[in-house]
Structure 1
């Protein structure tokens, strides 16, 4: 929804949601892609896939490409920030004027994951292990 569109990307626990919330607090148009655009699907075809659980969720975490394209095309706002990560990023990376990749040290990552509830990605031990391995 911006004349300029930016992606805030990074691994799990790097602060994408915190940045999105802060951008919104400051009056910017910011979309939490992990909560507003995401679904579980086949990374090749984009077709929704049901029954994905555990660490397999990571590999099937996609954004709805048609929604991303529609939001990026709407130019009512001067700038829009898309915050989050997806396995199908290659299908819409061309829409962004810039990409910011967030990084965090392992100690801070572990502290952030310690604060996550079990029903949120990274809250279970097997998910934490994958996140730390990918870090």
Structure 2
């Protein structure tokens, strides 16, 4: 079984890529929308924060971490071959060893800003301080991801081209 991580900053297009992979018949998960796999933790107390008690924006990323539950994440790996996981978590880097390859969707800052400001699926990045933090982190991340062996994928391409690029890198045809 092969397991692939699709990551990138907020607004990079991870959710859309996971949905397109599913549409094409692949097993793909957006763990950001799976509270049984990914949760917000208050690092001061060690407790998980429910959606009803989500702290107000801007989120203090020094206090709150968006982490995978590794046991729950590993259960997803048994659901198909290959398995794609789309996410960015506070504990992504230390768990890269769980994945056969890592793909980082890397659009321009302008594209990320437009996507965050106009998206309707959630409010992450809409607060000016959150937006500034996401954009700052994004501008520093490409070299870091490459140093970790990740493959950068041009996130300004069409959705189909992004998915085709990822599939080309794993040399995988359609499932089945």
What's the TM-score bracket when you normalise by the shorter of the two chains? Answer: 0.7 to 0.9
Corresponding position of 1:11 = 9
Compare 3-12 and 36-45 and name the one that shifted more: 36-45
Q: How far is 1:64 from its partner?
A: 1.4
Alpha-carbon deviations, 1:24-53, whole Å to 9, x = none?
111111010111122111569964256544
TM-score (norm 2): 0.64
**Aligned length in residues:** 131
Please give the TM-score of this superposition, normalised by the length of structure 1: 0.82
> Could you say if the C-alpha distance between residues 10 and 46 of structure 1 is closer, same or farther in structure 2, counting changes exceeding 3 Å?
farther
Larger Rg: 2
TM-aligned CA deviation for residue 114 of structure 1: 2.1
Question: Match of 1:38?
Answer: 38
Partner of 2:91: 88
How much does 1:90 deviate? 4.2
Look up the SS of the partner of 2:75 in the other structure: helix
Give the root-mean-square deviation of aligned CA atoms.
2.5
C-alpha deviation, 1:80, in angstroms: 0.6
Of 124, 129, 133, 2:132 maps to 129
In structure 1, distance between residues paired with 2:86 and 2:125: 17
Residue 107 in structure 1 maps to residue 110 in structure 2: yes
**Which digits, 9 at most, give the CA deviation of each residue in 1:104-132, with x for residues without a partner?**
11111121122123952112222212212
Which of 91, 97, 101 is residue 98 of structure 1 equivalent to?
Answer: 101
User: Which whole-Å CA distance do the structure 1 matches of 2:130 and 2:70 have between them?
Assistant: 26
Cα distance change, pair 91–46 in 1 and its aligned pair in 2 (3 A): farther
* The 10-residue stretch of structure 1 (88-97 or 44-53) with the greater mean CA deviation from structure 2: 44-53
What SS does the corresponding residue of 1:121 show, helix, strand or coil?
A: coil
Spell out, residue by residue over 1:72-116, the C-alpha distance to the aligned partner (whole angstroms, 9 max, x if none): 2x1x52211000111112453222111101111111112112212
Q: What 5-or-longer segments of structure 2 have no aligned partner?
A: 139-176
For structure 1, the residue ranges without an aligned partner over 5 or more in a row are: none
